[in-house]
Structure 1
């Protein structure tokens, strides 16, 4: 029995030793280190620009609608077509308006006949009164009848003008030479009052609509020249601030401003996003911490940056960001001066991944 007990004890010891060795081997991380580029934070106080996002739009654009309800009989243009000022774009059935116009014309003819008759009577009684052949009351009655006939004729003419003005809403024409940017109706559709039927823009004259927070709006002046970076084209254009809103009541606390773009050969289009850079000196920026926007990691509503731990691994640190200065973002909290952060990596970064800088091994990084 003692012999069997001794053999079992030896077997258990060997098994435990092998399991412990296997467990130790599993804990060894043999994954390759990710090569990264690291920058060191430094306080900055010599920046020259504030940047705000905006969108390019045509300086001269119009959304055309109608005050009349009716079926569209003709929609003769398509998106992208070039049109001239006064060119017919959309026609709406105006049979009811035509009938009303005929009625008004008949009313004008009737009022004009009554006016001519009243005018003749008025002149005749003026002569009779001058010869003492008519009384003052008779002249007054004829004069009143003449004035009423004259007023009825003028009323009928003004009604004709009103009907004619409504014909303009059944024949939608281009208010200026431009390009069709949207078309919301086709022949046979029902056009409703206030509905946008056609949108047209004048090409070659663009502006940027940008929003500025209240902390910076007082530093921006009308007429200042700015740089406008068009992201889709990768080009920087020159512009001039031409309008600055004095109220943020209807814009969510953001002040709207317009930047007029100068003549350029760049193929800019309405709706392109742009970044407007204002030449404004930063205030109280001796302790400002700036990092490039390319280093920022976003997850939902959170923004952070990967830093380097003492053991040579990447650690994601969440930040509170402030204003944008060109391609840099102000860090309000989460990083301080003289700290290092990862700018770029040759592989996927995550918490705990081993990292190494070019020319430095991960072991050296960890010792360092």
Structure 2
């Protein structure tokens, strides 16, 4: 009797476990599908891009120095300060110029006195010549003396103008409106001609300045469109090529390309950027450089691994690890792990995991 009861209890336990297993399987099958935006890879029409790195620079920039040798008596601006064209930035000592100015003024007074005396002598001899009391030679000598005195007076005035011009060099002013980006001297330092004192950039217009390799520079044209991505913010700005360097002699085989930006707001000079130029390639070049691009938002990161949820024929999501290449604006190149015309999850409304059913939006 005891054996029969034990058997019945064992069978009841098996039935209970079987029931739990069936319920678990039923719950697994009944998981709701996740709504998601589906993307699909393509290969034949991609790869028409040239990328280049660089940074944001102001269209106008200047390293300001002085033409005088003297002590810095004042620096009136600070780094980051906005200034207007003609605003005083710094002063250089001009004590020696004051002495030169006084000397020039004295020279003018002396030359002016000599000229007035020579002019009066000429006028007297001119009257005597009219009365035939002076010879032609004497009149010519007085005329020459007057002209020499006049030239001496003009030379003295030009010397004063030179001194006054040097006075203007002692007051360093802003060549254009902009922002101070650096000050390299302080009060009491000795300034020499050509030595930078202040640097500034114009705040009105910023450009992306990038370096393009010699193998790709012939694909870039003036006026062509470009997508410029700010690396720190990952913001992409539209722009057009404004200038191109025709020589790489001093840039290590790289050609300078300047891009005018359509929306220069919220960017600062010096920020690093990546520019993407869409270009037209020949059929042979296109097939040789074809690539697979997907939006960066589709990438799943786990540590140093990068993956993407791909879809099978039943729209079941499966995580697949991939190897990535260069970034092109908001897209990234997939070097391996994805095939052409393969579907993947771009953006899902819920948490993704292996085996989840995906419902396309």
**Consecutive unaligned residues in structure 2, runs of 5 or more:** 1-40, 300-305, 307-322, 341-352, 356-361
Q: Secondary structure at the match of 2:73?
A: strand
- Aligned equivalents of 2:286, 2:167: Cα separation in 1: 63
Change (3 A) 1:130 1:259: farther
Q: Secondary structure at the match of 2:233?
A: coil
Give me the TM-score of the superposition, normalised by structure 1.
0.67
Q: Secondary structure at the match of 2:207?
A: strand
Q: 2:81 aligns to what?
A: 81
Q: Secondary structure at the match of 1:218?
A: helix
Change (3 A) 1:262 1:123: farther
Conserved? CA contact 1:288–1:330, under 8 Å: no
Q: RMSD of the TM alignment (CA)?
A: 3.5
- Aligned equivalents of 2:44, 2:109: Cα separation in 1: 83
Q: 1:239 aligns to what?
A: 239
Instruction: Report the Cα offset of residue 78 of structure 1.
Output: 1.0
- Aligned equivalents of 1:247, 1:232: Cα separation in 2: 30
Q: Secondary structure at the match of 2:115?
A: helix
Q: Secondary structure at the match of 2:148?
A: helix
Q: 2:106 aligns to what?
A: 106
Q: 2:267 aligns to what?
A: 268
Offset from partner CA, 1:313-341 (integer Å, 9 cap, x none) = xxxx9xxx9x986555698xxx89979xx
- Aligned equivalents of 2:250, 2:51: Cα separation in 1: 22
Instruction: Report the Cα offset of residue 132 of structure 1.
Output: 2.3
Q: 2:287 aligns to what?
A: 286
Q: Secondary structure at the match of 2:286?
A: coil
Q: Which moved more, 1:168-177 or 1:285-294?
A: 285-294
- Aligned equivalents of 1:100, 1:208: Cα separation in 2: 48
Instruction: Report the Cα offset of residue 125 of structure 1.
Output: 2.4
Question: Following superposition of structure 1 onto structure 2, how do residues 70-149 of structure 1 map, counting pairs within 5 Å?
Answer: 70-149=70-149
- Aligned equivalents of 1:324, 1:128: Cα separation in 2: 96
Conserved? CA contact 2:46–2:290, under 8 Å: no
- Aligned equivalents of 1:330, 1:250: Cα separation in 2: 35
Give me the TM-score of the superposition, normalised by structure 2.
0.68
Q: 1:11 aligns to what?
A: none
- Aligned equivalents of 1:131, 1:255: Cα separation in 2: 82
Q: Secondary structure at the match of 1:255?
A: strand
Q: Secondary structure at the match of 2:179?
A: strand
Change (3 A) 1:329 1:143: farther
Change (3 A) 1:141 1:55: same
- Aligned equivalents of 2:89, 2:258: Cα separation in 1: 30
Q: Secondary structure at the match of 1:71?
A: strand
- Aligned equivalents of 2:217, 2:333: Cα separation in 1: 18
Instruction: Report the Cα offset of residue 80 of structure 1.
Output: 1.6
- Aligned equivalents of 1:96, 1:116: Cα separation in 2: 31
- Aligned equivalents of 2:334, 2:140: Cα separation in 1: 87
Conserved? CA contact 1:42–1:289, under 8 Å: no
Change (3 A) 1:85 1:288: closer
- Aligned equivalents of 2:214, 2:97: Cα separation in 1: 52
Q: Secondary structure at the match of 2:91?
A: strand
Instruction: Report the Cα offset of residue 91 of structure 1.
Output: 0.9
**Consecutive unaligned residues in structure 1, runs of 5 or more:** 1-40, 296-304, 306-316, 340-357, 361-368
Conserved? CA contact 1:204–1:263, under 8 Å: no
Q: 2:203 aligns to what?
A: 203
